[in-house]
Structure 1
Amino acid sequence: MKNIWRKMRDCWLDFWEDDELDMDKKHLSQHDKCSLLYGGFMIEVATFGLFSIGIIAGNIWTNHQNQKDKNIQCLSPAKMYEN
């Protein structure tokens, strides 16, 4: 188990290796990686927020429609049988 954690730590440190002096630019710099992770996180948060707002708005609208239908049904139950 120790070897697995050590390998994971080494991979993590290699990923975040600071390469400001690397002129070959074979991989992204630390700043670029942080920017991409932050951007991805912000897109996820925005998407989750928009979906949540949509679900909440749909629930409110459905509750309003159900309440309106319930009030109409209570006020005039005889109209249901006229059709």
Structure 2
Amino acid sequence: MENKASSLKKLSLWQVTIIGIAYMTPMTVFDTFGIVSGITNGHVPLAYLLALGAMLLTAWSYARFSQNSEKSGSAYSYTAESLGP
């Protein structure tokens, strides 16, 4: 039997960002504004902007990994490819 399945080998920054947002969205239910406000001394918007920046940098690095990788995968496969078996 011939395997006709094809997979997308390269992910764009937009695709990786959407995957990250889809992964993080269910956690917003558990967000407790009071705790975040207490930890950040009332600077909740700044805390969220910093977190957004970190997520965008992570998404960018995953997009770069997927462009340079021969196989599609996740953090595990990219790490295994980078560090070796």
Shorter chain as denominator, the TM-score bin is 0.3 to 0.5
TM-score between both structures, scaled by the size of structure 2 = 0.35
**Structure with greater proportional helix content:** 1
